[in-house]
Structure 1
Amino acid sequence: MVRGGVLRVAVVGGGPRGTSTVERLLAVHAQQQPVAHDAAGAPRVAGGQRLEVTVYDPYSPGPGKVWRTEQPRLFLMNTQSFYPTLIPSEPGLAPPLAGGSFDEWRAAQREAIDAGACTLSSDEQAELKGLEARDFPPRPLYGRYLTDTWAALLAAAPTGVTVRHVAAEVARVGRTPHGFAVTCVNGRAQEADAVVLALGHVPAGLGREQQALAAAAGRLGLHYFPPAAPADVDWDQLPAGETVLVRGMGLNFFDVMAALTEGRGGRFAEGPDGRLEYTPSGREPRIVAASRRGVPYRGKAELDAYYAPSVRLRWFTRAAALAPRAAGIQPSFDQDLWPLLHRDTLWAYYSTLARVEPGAVADGFLDELSAALAVEGPGWEQRASRAAHDGVVSARRLDLRALGSPLAGWHAHDRADLDARVLAHLDEDAAGSARGEDDPVKMAIAALHRGRAVLKEAVADGGITEASWVSGMRGWFEGLVEGLASGPPALRIRQLAALVRAGVVSTVGPEPRFSVDRSGPAFTASSPWVGGPDVRARWLVEALAPANVIARADSSLVAGLLADGLVRPRFLAGADGVPQPASGLDVTVPPYRALDVNGLPVEGLYVLGLQLSAVQWGTAIAAEAHPFAAPGEANDGAPYPSGQRTLRDADAIARDILGRAGLMQDAGWPGG
């Protein structure tokens, strides 16, 4: 594997995951590789072997494309300052050589500003002065943290290690007699002994309906914006005053909203009633938003911690979730795991309700509910439902389905009726976020959020049956929990409500249908639940992230890997037993070597990140800075692996690469 005394590692993708790979290669190498000295006393790597790491990315390493510092400063992260890190803190991993969490960087930069020694731009310094640990940072500011962390890693590279950046996109990775050839789009190829695919989002082909809309737009002079990262779109193309249809009300939608309102000079201000008011600039388009539920993701509760401290998992503990695996049993999500998390969700809601609204529950209700939740087997749910029916006023009983789809089954007379209902929902959601741990709905969601951390570990790498992965967890639960627990900062919900009141934003309604009127011509959108005429617009924006599906990847690199048989999609059997291609690649267990077309591990080819979506649930781009307060009671203070899972995966890959090359004394992976 190692020729000429040099181990050559290619990291394809220089964003956070690729940078994590480099960080772990440096840290593991420094920990495991003994350093000797030559006759003159100069340090050299024992055995004379050297490590050469090449990162391929057309954008700067560290931030990569997604977190580049040139994007609009209005775009916010979806996690608070205290959360993200590129540097692991988990016990048992090789000690980092440099860097720290984003919050540690934030604090250090604040001190440098006070001392007059800060080298950041005036915009960055202004943001840092007002940014506290619980605030949501601008995305370009996080990019600056990643840039500084990358520079710190290069400065700390140990003796015998070289790290370089090739500012080009990789078009192909092919096998050679000695390893791999990495070929860039400019035609230049370089050899590598090992390759790590840390790709992040790759371009994706359009779906059938999207293709039809794009084709019609081309013929009729309409304007279709396909799915893209908001920072990649020229929003100045959208004309002021015209109706713009925006499909999707998830996280990308709020970036589109910000770009077309504040980004065009509009201003939000606190009103006398405590709600935000919006003063238009006159340059905004009229935004009409659509999503399957008819409403956006719910806003995050305003908390000082990532997990609500008052919500503890009593049933869906880590020990309970991992017990089937420890016993050699592959559980079902619907039958074995969800009932435990469902119990915790009910308890979080009703215990909070009893505390903040004691008049809404009868005496002894919590005791009866607790007894019902303790019942073994399927009878618990019926008993808990009966306890809630008898002990809680009807208007305050929890309906999880309604939380996820608050407009389901409701008919609007016209669009004004719909907007009034949506506005009421937004105001109540914002008020619930402000109540934080005193809001029963937000605490039910907090239980789902805590449980998600446990679930990520329990289901990874074949932890549940394929049928329940397809039809249960990915089939219905993922959409529910994403809409409830993965929403934007509460500020964005307040801003959206202000825009609805100002007449800048309207909505289409649930289950929207899109088509093209060729006589107009115009895009049209309607909802079967809303009366009145269709929405008509010459502009249609897909506020959706590009599909993370290998089969739809519009990438010469991925196409070449598939064509050469170096990788293959993972297939999962649904409830009918028929295997279907999943979203990600087929890989081994950690360290995630790619499986070739015949199902054999490819020596030296590793996968990290989004393309692991068929074996991991929730391949987060950011790791949690200090995941030591475990999300379940029965964890004995140990860190929960899902909090820094991406960093642990990078560590496993680094150890495997260096171990197989003979550059480590001990190739074992703690925690593997």
Structure 2
Amino acid sequence: MRIAIVGLGPKGLYGLERLLANLAEAEYPFPTEIHLFNKSDSFGAGEIYNPAQPSYLKMNYVNGYINMWPEQKPKPNVPHPKSFVEWLNERKDEFPNDSEYTFSSRATVGRYLSEGFNELLENCPEHISIFKHVGDVIGIEQNEDGYSVDCKVSDDNVPLRVNAIQNLLIATGHPCINDADLVAQDTHIDFIYPVDLRLKGISSGSKVAIKGMGLTFIDAVLALTEGRGGKFVADETGDLIYTKSGMEPEVLYPFSKSGMLMIPRGNTYGKSSLAPFYFNKESVEYSETLEGKYDFEHQLLPLIEQDFTVVYYSKLFSSKGLKLEVLKDYAEVEFQIENFHEQNPDLPRFDFYSFLEGTISDGELNKSTLEFIRMSIQEAERGVEESAFAAAADAWRHLSDLFNELYSFGGLKPQSQKTFLEKYAGHLNRISYGPPIENMKKIEAIAKAGLIDFSFSQNPEISYSSKTILSNNKEEKVSVDFLVDARVPKIQLHRCAGPLYSTLLEQNLIIPYVNRLEGRLDFRPGCLAINEKGNPLDETGWANETITFTGTPTEGLTYDNDSLSRQRNDFVSDWAKDLTKKILQEEPETQLRSNSI
């Protein structure tokens, strides 16, 4: 059996680990080849966690949650699988301040993943041969021998071809870019990673617009400042002061549709949280569906809003020595809240939609954004156990598990899915999965040093000529030398499939997923059609079990593909188990045929 895994970031690594664990326990050790394809030599870590990247690029995921080894059976085929914290503890001389409660650099996590990958190779059973191929997979062709995988290993026009692949796990990242029309312009950077390479052409003293204000925006800012020799010094209060190196751009102009920055977060590992009370399986079961599909705004969002409100006021009540009684009848909870505000008229009311969308004064965008940064840092430092704001920001993390179950594989009505993705998903991501406090303090310090101007941050008008020009609602304009796209591209097969997915589409090995409901408008989220095991479907609904997708390509049929999570949207465990069974069934038949010849 010859198997290929395309993409060896964490998702591909997890697939390899499960496959080796299952094959190691197989009753008969049949010869198996596994071909691994990765864009770079960063096998196991991928580009996002490449160990060679700068150390100032931080995780937004606390160390205690990171573990590349699963707890389920079969056990990993290595002698001593270690969690990330155990791995760090063995290197205390190198990482003296790191613990389960801190945030490490992505490079450090990449080292952990890469060493885990190497450990898998070192303990690989003798009957399994593993081949590594570095380069872009640009095509997969189906033929009578199975599949041929074409990999561009250099600038030569002739790719490496590996033939007779019988089974494929495809764990690629994002296949396309955001604005294909702008790629040819030298002053447009369509993707920032790796930052040392992609941003080096931005000259010092230039004006730079940055599209997107999420985690990638923070990485871009740090690469153009700290990455160019700028220094941070903590003052007596713990806040940071930035000292310029002189190699930075003159000013950075970030912008997005909402103009809102992410909410920073402190340690949440081991912290108690209020279990979902209203948005739970029991409550959802009372909702009538149409062919098994929910309406997000009318059926799910009201329950989510109630849980957010309860989390916020539970902390606020506690700060006044009171206890909010969480009761099934939400009207009784509202009655308690009304009484609370009558007794505390100076405290602002919690409004779920204002919290979700954020409130920045469009009159003084730069000033109000800096005020938001300061407030959000202070609340994050108070933490989820004391701050009502921080606790509410953390709530979606605990609600999203159930939402993922309801959302996955067309669980929302077509136009309701469209509404969720366009109107709510970005805001929920912004409030819940923000950067560590340290990184937001750095953004604040860089802005105070005059290197970031938020005056055009809220959905500016953009015009392109010899330069990019931003205009805000005060009729102010700024001409910039470079435009950096700091958004993570989403899979959009109908718009920009990329070389690999284009060939898969041409051969009808995949088709775009369409969310359909009789009598309603269809919706195409951009992903491919797969079943619940990750196998691609054709127009008739037939599943091709020789190909499995995991991670980014499944977004749209799944929600929140956390690249490090082993539990969320785990397609690889079943893939490895089913493939091992198939090998055991087919190989004896092959052996019998060869013996009879």
2:10 corresponds to 1:68 = no
Distance 1:283 1:575, change over 3 A: farther
Residue 28 of structure 1: SS of its match in structure 2?
A: helix
Residue 219 of structure 2: SS of its match in structure 1?
A: helix
State the Cα deviation string for residues 444-464 of structure 1 (Å, max 9, x = none). 122222111232233223344
Normalised to the residue count of structure 1, the TM-score between the two structures is 0.79
Shift of 1:87: 1.5
Letter of the 1:87 partner, please give it: W
Letter of the 1:314 partner, please give it: F
Letter of the 1:506 partner, please give it: D
Aligned equivalent of 1:396, options 320, 323, 348:
348
Structure 2: distance between partners of 1:341 and 1:65: 35
Deviates more, 1:575-584 or 1:159-168: 575-584
Shift of 1:356: 1.6
Structure 1: distance between partners of 2:134 and 2:288: 44
Aligned equivalent of 1:556, options 496, 499, 504:
499
2:489 corresponds to 1:526 = no
> Contact 2:410 / 2:515 at 8 angstroms: preserved in 1?
no
2:41 corresponds to 1:96 = no
Residue 180 of structure 1: SS of its match in structure 2?
A: strand
Q: Which residue of 2 aligns with 1:169?
A: 136
2:271 corresponds to 1:301 = no
Structure 2: any 5+ residue segments left out of the alignment?
A: 153-158, 588-597
Distance 1:570 1:258, change over 3 A: same
> Contact 1:228 / 1:544 at 8 angstroms: preserved in 2?
no
> Contact 2:362 / 2:458 at 8 angstroms: preserved in 1?
no
Alignment of 1:302-317 (within 5 A): 302-305=267-270, 308-317=271-280
2:147 corresponds to 1:180 = yes
Q: Which residue of 1 aligns with 2:156?
A: none
Alignment of 1:508-547 (within 5 A): 508-516=456-464, 518=465, 521-528=466-473, 531=474, 533-547=476-490
Structure 1: distance between partners of 2:357 and 2:497: 33
Distance 1:476 1:195, change over 3 A: same
2:410 corresponds to 1:462 = yes
Alignment of 1:553-632 (within 5 A): 553-573=496-516, 577-590=520-533, 592-623=534-565
Structure 2: distance between partners of 1:279 and 1:485: 31
How many percent identity over aligned positions?
23
Shift of 1:493: 1.4
> Contact 1:52 / 1:162 at 8 angstroms: preserved in 2?
yes
Distance 1:524 1:327, change over 3 A: closer
Q: Which residue of 1 aligns with 2:392?
A: 444
> Contact 1:301 / 1:432 at 8 angstroms: preserved in 2?
no
State the Cα deviation string for residues 175-216 of structure 1 (Å, max 9, x = none). 222422222231423211111111122233625xxx2x566x
Residue 200 of structure 2: SS of its match in structure 1?
A: helix
Structure 2: distance between partners of 1:664 and 1:142: 39
Q: Which residue of 1 aligns with 2:234?
A: 270
Distance 1:72 1:554, change over 3 A: farther
Aligned pairs, how many? 575
Letter of the 2:68 partner, please give it: L
Aligned equivalent of 2:568, options 627, 641, 645:
645
2:362 corresponds to 1:424 = no
Structure 2: distance between partners of 1:291 and 1:54: 41
Aligned equivalent of 2:172, options 199, 206, 223:
199
2:355 corresponds to 1:355 = no
2:450 corresponds to 1:503 = yes
> Contact 1:14 / 1:59 at 8 angstroms: preserved in 2?
no
Letter of the 2:374 partner, please give it: D
Distance 1:59 1:28, change over 3 A: same
2:494 corresponds to 1:494 = no
2:4 corresponds to 1:10 = yes
Q: Which residue of 2 aligns with 1:23?
A: 17
Structure 2: distance between partners of 1:618 and 1:380: 34
Q: Which residue of 2 aligns with 1:654?
A: 576
Structure 1: distance between partners of 2:298 and 2:196: 43
Residue 525 of structure 2: SS of its match in structure 1?
A: strand
Shift of 1:331: 3.4
Structure 1: any 5+ residue segments left out of the alignment?
A: 1-6, 36-44, 114-124, 625-643, 666-672
Normalised to the residue count of structure 2, the TM-score between the two structures is 0.89
Shift of 1:167: 2.0
2:299 corresponds to 1:336 = yes
Shift of 1:313: 1.9
Distance 1:169 1:395, change over 3 A: same
Structure 1: distance between partners of 2:439 and 2:132: 37
Q: Which residue of 1 aligns with 2:595?
A: none
Q: CA RMSD in A?
A: 2.9
> Contact 1:245 / 1:537 at 8 angstroms: preserved in 2?
yes
Shift of 1:237: 2.0
Letter of the 2:108 partner, please give it: L
Letter of the 1:50 partner, please give it: P
2:214 corresponds to 1:250 = yes
2:87 corresponds to 1:105 = yes
> Contact 2:241 / 2:445 at 8 angstroms: preserved in 1?
yes
